[in-house]
Amino acid sequence: MPTADTPAWPRDFVWGVSTSSYQIEGAASEDGRAPSIWDIRCRQQGAIANGDTGDVACDHYHRYPEDIALMRELGVAAYRFSIAWPRVLPRGRGSPNPKGLDFYDRLVDAVLAAGIEPWACLYHWDLPQALQDRGGWTRRDSAGWFADYAVLMAQRLGDRVKRWATFNEFAVFTLFGYAIEWGAPGRADRADHLAAIHHVNLAHGAGVDVLRDLVPGASIGAIHNRQAVWPEQDLPEHHEAAALLDEHWNRAFPEPQLLGHYPPRIAAAIEPYLRAGDLARICRPIDWFGLNHYGPIFVKPDPQGTWNFTWGEAPADAPRSEIGWPIYPEAFRDELLELTRRFRLPIYVTENGAGGQDGPGPDGSIDDHHRIAYLSAYTGALHEALAAGADVRGYFVWSLLDNFEWGAGYANRFGIVYVDFATQQRTPKASARWYADLIRHARGG
C-alpha cells in the first residue's frame, strides 16, 4: 500500500469485487430456471465435498439488495457478476424465461442505483444441461448457441451495462471439465477436450462481434486465468510437463484470441477441428484483458493422465494460503509486466484472493489476518508492477462473499464477507475493513 513516500494509485484505478452466478445465487429451481451442468455434477456421488450443492448457496437471488449494500459500504466502484444462462434460457436456446431476465434487470438497476458500475460476464461455467445433452462445447454448434444467448443479453441489458466479458477462465473450465474430471461435465477425453477448446474460442469470437454490434459504447474483455507453471523437479520430463500445461493453462485461449494462432503443441493437436477462416473468427479486437491470478502451479508428469501432466507439490518451504495454494506475489508482478509486453491491452485483475477456513471468534468477529496478509502482498506487487510500467487499470477481489467453491463445496471460504450458511447472515471480515481502507486511501480520502 502506498505511503507518503511511495507514488499514489492512479486516480481512476477501478476497485471492485467479483462473484459468479452458480456460486452465490441459489434459487436453483425457482422462477423457471433449469439445471446447469453444475446442478447435475453436484448430484454425482463423491463429486463435491460433503455432497454440497448450489441449490441455495448465498441465496443472493433473494438477498441481492443486502449484498449490494455491503458493496456500497466497501466503497467499490465496480461489481463483476455473471449471468446464469439456464436462468434466462432454460433450454439453452429458443424462448427466454421472462422471470430470469427480470432478475438481471433488477440486479443491474440496484447496482447502478448504488453508484456501482456493473461488469457482466456471460459465462462462468454454468452451461444449461439441455445443451450438454446435445454435446455441449464438443459440438461446433455451441459457438452459435452462445452467440444467440449473447444477443439476448446484449439487447436486454446493453442500455445499462457497458462492461462485458465473454467467458471466465476458459482454460480452467475446459481442462477441468473435459480432461481431468475436476469440474462439470466431468469428462476425461483428449478429443472432447480439444474440441471444447476450439469451440469455446469460436464462441468467444462470435460473442465479441455480437456485443460490439448491439451494445453502444461497449467495453469488451475476456477473462483469463494466468499463473506461472513451474516444474516440481528439475528433470527433463517435469520441464516438458510444465511446458505442456503452460500451453493449456496460459496460452490456448489468449494467443488465438489476441495473436491469431495456437501455441505449438496445441496447434498440432487441434488441426482436426480447425476450418478455414476459424482463426480470423476467433481473433476479434477487444478492449481489455481480464486476469484471474492466485499463485503459481507446480507440475509433474502423469503418463496415465489424459495429458502427460498433473498438479505437483510446491517446495516444502513455500508460503501457502490456508487451503494450501502457494503464495508468490513476485510472480504476480512479473505476470502483469509480461502481459503488458505481450498483448498490449489494458489489464483488469478480475480475480485475486485467498481461501481459508474462517470462522467467528468468541465475540462473533472474523479475524482473517491470513487474507489481509495475502491481499496486501498481492496489491503491493500490483503497485510495483504499475510503477514498472504495467498497464493495469483495476483490481477485483475474489470474492465478495463466502460461496460455493466448486468441488470444495462450502468448506473453502474466499469471501471478505463471512456467510453463515445456516442463517444466511452476512458479517464483514477484518479483510473487508482492510479493503475499504485501501480503497479510501487509494482515492486520496
Report the interface residues with ligand PNW, using CB under 6 A.
Answer: 20, 23, 168-169, 172, 225, 292, 294, 297, 351, 398, 405, 414
Nearer to ligand PNW, 23 or 340 (CB): 23
Shortest distance, CB of residue 434 to ligand PNW, whole angstroms?
A: 19
Would you say 23 is a known binding-site residue? yes
- Please identify, using beta-carbon distances, which residue of 158 and 290 lies nearer to ligand PNW: 290
Catalytic residue among 25, 169, 232, 247: 169
With cell 456501482, the residue in question is 116
For residue 95, is the peptide bond before it cis, meaning its omega torsion is within 30 degrees of 0?
Answer: no
Q: Can 351 be counted among the known catalytic residues? A: yes
- Annotated binding residue 294: yes
398 is in an annotated binding site: yes
Q: Are the C-beta atoms of 64 and 424 separated by less than 8 Å?
A: no
What are φ and ψ of residue 394, in 5° steps?
-170, 170
Min dist CB 22 to ligand PNW, Å, is: 9
Pick between residue 16 and residue 96 the one whose CB is nearest to ligand PNW. 16
Q: Is 322 annotated as ligand-binding?
A: no
What is the closest distance, in whole angstroms, from the C-beta atom of residue 76 to ligand PNW in the complex? 18
How many other C-beta atoms can be found within 10 angstroms of the C-beta atom of residue 317?
6
Measured CA to CA, the distance from residue 344 to residue 289 in angstroms comes to: 9
Question: What is the nearest approach in angstroms of ligand PNW to the Cβ of residue 19?
Answer: 9
Shortest Cβ 411–ligand PNW spacing (Å): 12
d(CA 370, CA 216) in angstroms, rounded, equals 43
Q: For 22, list phi and psi in degrees, rounded to 5.
A: -65, -30
97 vs 399 by CB, closer to ligand PNW: 399
State the residue for C-alpha cell 452462445. 146
Cα angle 314-319-320, degrees, rounded to a multiple of 5: 75
Alpha carbons within 13 angstroms on the beta-carbon side of residue 264 total: 2
Residue of minimal CB distance from ligand PNW? 169
Is 64 annotated as belonging to a binding site? no
Which candidate in 25, 247, 255, 351 is catalytic? 351
- Give catalytic status of residue 169 as yes or no: yes
Q: How far apart are CA 330 and CA 335, in angstroms?
A: 9
The answer to whether the beta carbons of residues 430 and 373 sit under 8 Å apart is no
Q: Give the three cell numbers for residue 25.
A: 445465487
Is 198 known as a binding-site position?
Answer: no
Binding residues: 23, 124, 168, 294, 398, 405-406
Residues classed as catalytic: 169, 351
Binding residues for substrate: 23, 124, 168, 294, 398, 405-406
